[in-house]
Amino acid sequence: MPGSKFFRWIGKIRLVDIDQVKLLYFLSLLVGLLSALAAVILKNTIHYTHKLLTEGFTPGSGSFLYLAYPLAGMLITLLFVTFIVRDNIGHGISRVLYAISKKKSLLKPHNTWSSIVATTITIGFGGSVGAEAPIVLTGSSIGSVVGRFFKMNYRNITLLIGCGAAGAVSGIFKAPIAGIVFTLEILMLDLTLSSIVPLLIASVTAATVAWFLMGDEVLFTFAITEAYNLSNIPWYLLLGVVAGLISLYFSRMTLFLENQYERIRNIYIRLLVGGTILGAFIFLFPPFFGEGYDTIMALLRGDTEAVTGNSIFQNLTDNYLIFILFLFCLIMLKVVASSSTNGAGGVGGIFAPTLFIGGLTGYLISSLLNTYLNVGIPDNRFVLAGMAGLMAGVMHAPLTAIFLIAEITEGYALLIPLIITSTTAFITTRSFERHSIYHVQLAKKGELITHDKDKAVLTLMDWRKEIETDLLKIKPGDTLGDLIGLISKSKRNIFPVVDEYNILEGIVSLDDVREIMFNNELYDTVHVRDLMTIPPSYIDKKENIETVMETFRKTGAWNLPVLDNGLYVGFLSKSRIYSTYRELLVQFTEE
């Protein structure tokens, strides 16, 4: 039959016969399409879950439900993750970075859907986090799975992970340039001709699909067409400094609070503590319910009543100072709400909280300047510039911040203020914290891929696999005759000297015994302890590759012993490390 002949012909096609560049372009389009669909599904499921739960809320009756919904949502999420997923799916972007650096860019297949379910429940029930990091994990996982299915190498799988991340950001914000820049800044992919084309294809595909399926209902859009006022540049500089300091506060408080939650070993007690704190905060400050984009849109429209509405303070905020205090509390306490959500068992990211705090910071600064100095700054512009400033400071991604807000505002009328604010915020935060909130933990462990190819390749290297364990051991009390017998059986010229507990006491090399090894008279009178030398240093098995290379550099040795909790494991050869390094470098930089 014609049909069966066709399928037999398809089955004979091998991937090696397909032009790999064209295949990569096709796969980047596929990944962009699937990432956009994932983003659309997640945004819609969150929206309709939120709408279903909050429909009919009134200031008099709805507020008390704020106490129950977040805890219920986090409980369902916790049960889903614990008994169905059975894997940690929090901190999506950090998990992508870890997979690139230590897992050969392999993300588990369940990440293509598990984050969508968990995040929908968490945010739909009021969790004070964002959907962006989970959807980036989803898109990246799609790229990883597609790359593995088509048997791509490490470099191309990593590139498809970047395509998935770019597609996710592009689809969720309708911002294709920001999607590409996010991948380059946050995931630290190299900007080369071979990488930029697949990223462009994936990002544009995702933005087009999102536009087709959701139109303007993509988070939020706010058009600005008028040019900025040159005289306001000093105030944008001021906003950048404030945004940088608040970014530092947000980053360090997030890490501190989540560490405190991790100390609570019982997951259900942790859930109860975090859920109660979050519910209380949402009861007092309803803008903490969910992602917070409604609050940002209200500030952009100048509708301050929508910000304070449904709050127990709504009748008090007619007083300007109390209103300012209310906004200040939102800025300072949002980090507690978001950390309580993630720390207690919810699944979400800090992308939306960052934009939320940035928008409020911009509005607060502009309101104070307009009220007390009468400078006439448009509030909505400072809201947008503040969002860019916080993103640049928290994520250490000024270009992503600039292009994301520029694309959201459908033009570049605000480009120079965005550059000024983002750059100032980034410099301010970077003065105190070298790494972003996504990178800091991985950087401390030496597991962070960077744009520095040398450091990136070293990060990819698992030096423990290069430990040589075939060296024959000898005891310090053994004689020269015992050693000669061992030499005759060995193909190596180094012999570790260990005691009965496998503790390394020294080493004997062939050069140490070359002059006496044929003197039979010494075989029973000379002992190994008389011949052994102490190695110039040793390597602990827990050390990272940077420390290993630094130890080789300082000692000038070509072979060093490896110990684990003081016990002898084997030897590490500098030449073997260099050989592995060269192989990885070729794979990493292959065009």
User: 120 with 260, same domain?
Assistant: no
Percent of the chain predicted with pLDDT > 70:
88
Assess if residue 2 is contained within a domain: no
444 and 461 share one domain? no
| Structure-model confidence comparison of residues 540 and 316, the more confident one | 540
Mean pLDDT of 560-581: 86
> Would you say residue 83 lies in a domain?
yes
Q: Is residue 313 part of a domain?
A: yes
Cα 35 from chain centre: 18
Whether 237 and 259 share a structural domain: yes
Span of 104-108, 331-335, 557-561, 586-590 with lowest mean pLDDT: 586-590
More confident residue, 79 or 306: 79
Q: What number of other Cβ atoms are within 10 A of residue 136's Cβ?
A: 32
What gap in Å lies between CA 108 and CA 64, rounded to an integer?
39
Q: Which residue has the tokens 């970014």?
A: 247
Report d(CA 460, CA 437) in Å as an integer: 21
- State which of 433, 451, 469 marks the end of a domain: 451
Q: Are residues 312 and 435 in the same domain?
A: yes
Average model confidence (pLDDT) across the chain:
85
Round to whole Å and give the CA distance between 64 and 381: 35
The token pair that represents 548 in the structure block:
């290993």
Q: Are residues 199 and 67 in the same domain?
A: yes
- Residue 561's DSSP bridge partners are 571
If asked whether residues 476 and 327 sit together in one domain, one would say no
In the chain, helix, strand, coil percent, each to 5?
A: 65, 5, 30
Asked if 500 and 478 count as a contact pair (C-beta separation under 8 A), the reply is no
Least confident of 222-226, 364-368, 533-537: 222-226
- What is the residue whose two structure tokens read 């209200």? 298
- Within 13 A of 227's CA, how many CA atoms are on the CB side? 3
The β-bridge partners of 47 are none
Alpha-carbon distance of 34 to 430, in angstroms, equals: 35
User: Are 255 and 440 within 8 A, CB to CB?
Assistant: yes
CATH of the domain at 580: 3.10.580.10
Concatenated DSSP letters for 322-382? HHHHHHHHHHHHHHHHHHHHHHTT---BSHHHHHHHHHHHHHHHHHHHHHHT-----HHHH
DSSP code, position 527: B
Answer yes or no: do 63 and 81 share one domain: yes
Nearest-Å Rg of the Cα atoms of the chain is: 29
67-91 pLDDT per residue, tens: 888 999 999 999 999 999 988 888 8
Give the pLDDT confidence of 409-467 residue by residue, as tens digits: 876 778 899 999 999 999 999 999 888 888 776 655 555 555 545 555 656 667 788 88
pLDDT of residue 591: 46
Q: CA-CA distance, 192 to 297, in Å (whole number)?
A: 37
- When mean pLDDT is compared across 392-396, 520-524, 525-529, 577-581, the lowest value belongs to 577-581
Tell me, what's the pLDDT at 201?
A: 95
Residues found in the chain = 591
Indicate whether 432 and 538 sit together in one domain.
no
Which of residues 451, 467, 498 is at a domain's end? 451
pLDDT of residue 59: 46
pLDDT score for 94: 84
DSSP character string of 247-296: HHHHHHHHHHHHHHHHT---HHHHHHHHHHHHHHHHHH-GGGSSS-HHHH
- Pairing mode, if any, of strands 539-540 and 559-564? parallel
DSSP assignment string, 194-233: HHHHHHHHHHHHHHHHHHHHHTT-SS------SPPPGGGH
Helix (H, G, I), strand (E, B) or coil at 109: helix
**Count of CA atoms in the C-beta half-sphere (13 A) of 209:** 25
**Which region, left, alpha or beta, applies to residue 119 given φ > 0 means left and ψ of -120 to 50 means alpha?**
alpha
> How many angstroms separate the CA atoms of 270 and 216, rounded?
39
Distance CA(307)–CA(470), nearest Å, equals 69
Of 394, 429, 451, which residue constitutes the final position of a domain? 451
C-alpha 423/C-alpha 211 separation (Å) is: 30
Asked if residue 133 and residue 78 are part of one domain, the reply reads yes
The candidate with the shortest Cα–Cα distance to 251, out of 134, 356, 354, 388, is 354
221 in a domain, yes or no?
no
Residues 420, 243 contacting (CB under 8 angstroms): no
- Judged on CB neighbours under 10 Å (0-12, 13-18, 19+), 227 is exposed
* β-bridge mates for residue 527, sequence order: 479
Task: Match 């300082």 to its residue by tokens.
Answer: 554
Number of domains in the chain: 3
Overall average pLDDT of the 269-276 stretch = 93
Q: Are residues 558 and 431 in the same domain?
A: no
Q: Which two tokens stand for residue 177?
A: 């340039």
Mean pLDDT of 103-123: 92
For residues 122-140, average pLDDT: 93
In a domain, 303, yes or no: yes
Query: For the residues 506-521, what does the mean pLDDT come to?
Result: 84
Residue 220 lies in a domain: no
Helix (H) or strand (E) holding 507: strand 504-509
pLDDT of residue 412: 75
Of residues 581 and 271, more confidence is placed in 271
3-state secondary structure of 13: coil
**Do 368 and 388 share a domain, yes or no?**
yes
Render 423-462 in DSSP notation, one character per residue. Answer: HHHHHHHHTT-SS-TTTHHHHHTT----S-HHHHHHHH--
For residue 49, give the CATH number of its domain.
Answer: 1.10.3080.10
Contact by Cβ (8 Å): 532, 506? yes
Q: Residue 289's domain spans which residues?
A: 230-267+283-451
> Tens digit of pLDDT for each residue in 209-237?
988 888 765 556 677 766 677 888 999 99
Q: Indicate whether 118 and 187 sit together in one domain.
A: yes
Q: What is the mean pLDDT of residues 175-185?
A: 91
Query: Can you name the residues that pair with 509 across neighbouring β-strands?
Result: 494
* Vertex 116: Cα angle to 23 and 359 (nearest 5): 100
Instruction: Say which amino acid occupies 585.
Output: L
Higher model confidence: residue 172 or residue 191?
172
Three-state SS for 498?
A: strand
pLDDT in tens, 256-265: 999 999 999 9
